[in-house]
Structure formats: structure tokens, C-alpha cells
Amino acid sequence: MTQALAIQAGVVLFQALAWWLWLHWWPSASPALGVVALVQGVLSAMISFWIGMALWWWLIQLTFPLVVLAAVAVHWPVAVYAGLFSVLWLGYWHTFRTQVPYYPSSPAVWRAVQDCLPAGRPCRAIDLGSGLGGLVLHLARTRSDCRVTGAELAPLPWLTSRLRAMGLPNVFLRRVDYHSLDLGEYDLVFAYLSPAAMPALWRKAQQEMRPGSVLLSYEFVIPDQPADRQIHLPGMHSLLYAWYI
Ligand SMILES: C[S@@+](CC[C@H](N)C(=O)[O-])C[C@H]1O[C@@H](n2cnc3c(N)ncnc32)[C@H](O)[C@@H]1O
């Protein structure tokens, strides 16, 4: 995000200089704000592409100035912006630090994780970054003999998951940074995080997880640590990876 903001700021300075020179030579041709916003977006997206940022960052860079312009044009009360900011802040919390935003996994993933739970005996499972609690609730409902924990840092998803889990005795939803938890307590550890989080997760798993337990990661691999098993999910491109400890 710092990189994206630095690019936008750099392009603002570049545009200010370019338009100043333009108006100096051709004072009657003042640019429309829409043109300025479009040039801002296109240049920022091109720089993001050039330095190798992910596709979704180019799209954000491209549309951000136009969205700002549109937001100014509709003249909403300040309270609307404050409300939107609060919801985003409570929903995404420390994403700028963790590099792991919220996006949910799907029921196909939940069923595959369920199949990896030890059969025929009570067990303990944890979802690192449990979001709105979809996976945790699914496992708790389908395996009432297992104790299922969700660890979530962001307040709003955590609160939502707590409300959704009311009445389920085998669910434990904690608002906590998973780095502070001991993974040795669990038979199955599930993570749907981001590439940035995987090296540290693997070091933690190696130090703490018990022999016989399994680490699962949906979509994201651990660099230089091939998975013991790759699970294909019906109708989905991304895989579920398993490392047996
Ligand atoms: C990609 S979402 C996955 C949500 C959920 N596990 C699922 O499968 O639907 C990742 C979640 O991890 C949370 N998260 C990121 N870093 C975390 C940390 N260090 N401790 C706890 N939660 C974290 C984010 O707030 C986000 O809700």
C-alpha cells in the first residue's frame, strides 16, 4: 500500500509540473478535472505494472483518482465518509502490516478441510485468520466431536463470527494475532492467508506443531517446501496444500 500511495503522490507531482508548464505556454486550455484524474490513473497503473505489482493493484491505481473525483462530486455529508472509513478500518484492521486482507474461502474448500480431519476420534482444529467464520462453523457443525478454534485479528469479522457461532458449544472464536498462539495444541491447522505470510507460518509450524498433525494452506504455497499432498477441489483452479508434520 505504501508503494501504491508513493506512486500516486509521485504522479500528482509530475502532473502538477506538466500542467503548470502546459498552462504557461497555453493559458486558455485549462484541463478538465476528469482528464487530470484519468491521466493520474493511467500513469499510476502503468508504473504499477512496470514495477511488477499484482493485477488488482493496477486496477486500484487506475480507478482510484476517478473514484475520488466522483466521491467529491456527489457531496455526501462528512459522516458518510467517516462511517465508511470506520467500517473498512474495523473490517481490515492491520492488513497493511499483515499483508493478509479478508476474502472468504468457499464451501468446496471447507468440505476438503473436513475430509482431512482425523476420522473416528475427537480432535482439535484451528483456522488462522478465521474471517467471518465460515470454515469454523462448517467444521463445528459437521464434526461435533471436534473442538474448532478461529483466530481473527480484525474486530468486525471476529464479532460477526461470534454472533454466527452462538449456540455452538464446540466453537472458540478468539480475537487474537495467531502468531501469539501455540499451534502444538491442534491436530489440524488451516490457513488461507497470502504469499507474504507463508515463510513465517512455516517456521512457526515447524517449531510448534506436533508429529501426526497437518498444516493446510488454501491457494498459497510455502516457498522451497513442496507440499506432501495437493488436493484438487471440484470446479476450482486453486489447490489445497497439505504438509504432514
Ligand atoms: C483470506 S481471509 C480468510 C478467512 C477465512 N479463513 C476463510 O477461509 O474464509 C484471511 C483473514 O486472516 C486475518 N488475519 C490476517 N493476519 C492475521 C493474524 N496475524 N492473526 C489473526 N488473523 C489474521 C484477516 O483479518 C482475514 O480476515
Distance CA 134, CA 216 (A): 16
Q: How many Cα atoms are found within 13 Å in the side-chain-facing hemisphere of 198?
A: 18
d(CA 135, CA 139): 6
Label residue 207 by pLDDT band (50, 70, 90). very high
Amino acid at 163: L
198 lines ligand 1 (CB under 6 A): no
Among the residue ranges 94-98, 172-176, 222-226, 239-243, the one predicted with the least confidence is 94-98
Interhelix angle 78-92/155-164, rounded to 10 degrees, is 70
pLDDT recorded at residue 155: 93
pLDDT of residue 205: 97
**Residue 82 domain-assigned?**
no
Dihedral sign from CA coordinates of 149, 152, 155, 159: negative
Atom 4 of ligand 1, residue of closest alpha carbon: 131
- Residues 167 and 220 both lie in one domain: yes
The whole-angstrom separation of Cα 150 and Cα 110 is 14
Return the pLDDT at 105.
93
The mean pLDDT value for 61-78 works out to 85
85 falls within a domain: no
Q: The whole model's pTM is what?
A: 0.79
Phi, psi of 172 (to 5 degrees): -130, 110
Confidence of residue 195 (pLDDT cuts 50, 70, 90): very high
Task: Please check the confidence at residue 30 and state whether its pLDDT lies above 70.
Answer: no
Residue 99 lies in a domain: no
Q: Rounded to 5 degrees, what are φ and ψ at 234?
A: -55, 125
Among 54, 75, 96, residue at a domain's last position: 75
Per-residue pLDDT at 235: 85
Torsion of CA 80, 83, 88, 89, to 10 degrees: 140
| Beta carbon of 106 within 6 Å of any ligand 1 atom | no
Is 113 inside any structural domain? yes
- Express each pLDDT in 105-117 by its tens digit: 999 999 999 999 9
φ, ψ for residue 35 (rounded to 5)? -65, -45
The pLDDT of residue 26 is above 80: no
Domain's final residue, options 21, 53, 75: 75
Q: Number of folded domains in the chain? A: 2
Same domain, residue pair 129 and 237: yes
pLDDT at position 16: 84
The residue whose grid cell reads 491442534 is 186
pLDDT of residue 49: 87
Q: Ligand 1 atom closest to Cα of 151?
A: 21
CATH number at residue 135: 3.40.50.150
Query: Does 68 lie in the same domain as 161?
Result: no
121 lies in the same domain as 228: yes
**Ligand 1 atom 15 nearest Cα:** 100
What's the CA-to-centroid distance between 38 and ligand 1, angstroms? Answer: 34
Is residue 178 one of the residues assigned to a domain? yes
The reply to whether 147 falls in a domain is yes
Number of helices (H), then strands (E), belonging to the chain: the values are: 9, 7
Q: Are 49 and 131 part of one and the same domain?
A: no
For residue 150, give its domain range.
107-244
The sign one gets for the Cα dihedral 102, 105, 110, 116 is negative
Say if residue 200's pLDDT is above 70: yes
- CB-ligand 1 contact for 242 (6 Å cutoff): no
**Per residue, what are the HEC states of 135-154?**
HHHHHHHHCCCCEEEEEECC
pLDDT for the residue 113:
98
Residues 69 and 154 in one domain: no
Q: Is the domain of 46 the same as that of 118?
A: no
Neighbour count for residue 113 (Cβ, 10 Å): 24
The more confident residue out of 128 and 25 is 128
Please check whether residues 112 and 154 belong to one and the same domain: yes
Last residue of a domain, one of 55, 75, 95: 75
**94, 126, 153, 233: residue to mutate for ligand 1 pocket, most atoms within 8 A of CB:** 153
For the chain, give the mean pLDDT: 91
Could you tell me the three cell numbers for 185? 495444541
* Residue 145: pLDDT over 90: yes
How many A from CA of 75 to the centre of ligand 1? 34
91 in any annotated domain: no
Residue 100 Cα to ligand 1 midpoint, Å, equals: 6
